[in-house]
Amino acid sequence: MKVWFNQNSGGVFLSDENYNTAMLDDCGTLRDWIVCPICGSEGFLNEIHEDEDMNSIEMAECKEWWDDYTAERFPNKSKYSLV
């Protein structure tokens, strides 16, 4: 487990050997910090891709990755409850 500080955002990050990263939010809660490998969009779970239309053709690859990611990470949750 590694802790690092982003001087630009003032955020404190934690990451493990699998590159899973978490960051403290404004309330001091540790939350998953996610980076999309397709488009580079990053943010908390509810923020990533939030400005994008995930049903558009341009976002098809992102959507595919996102569906896989959430299915693997949250196997018991509906993906629709995450966005």
The footprint of Zn ion (CB under 5 A) covers 36, 38-39, 41, 62
CA torsion 34→12→23→17, rounded to 10°?
A: 70
Smaller CB separation from Zn ion, 31 or 63 = 63
Taking the C-alpha atoms of residue 66 and residue 79, their distance in angstroms, rounded to an integer, is: 9
Taking the C-alpha atoms of residue 8 and residue 18, their distance in angstroms, rounded to an integer, is: 24
Q: How far is the CB of 11 from Zn ion (least distance, A)?
A: 20
Q: Is the dihedral of CA 9, 11, 15, 20 positive or negative?
A: negative
Smaller CB separation from Zn ion, 23 or 62 = 62
Q: How far is the CB of 52 from Zn ion (least distance, A)?
A: 7
Q: How far is the CB of 49 from Zn ion (least distance, A)?
A: 6
Smaller CB separation from Zn ion, 16 or 47 = 47
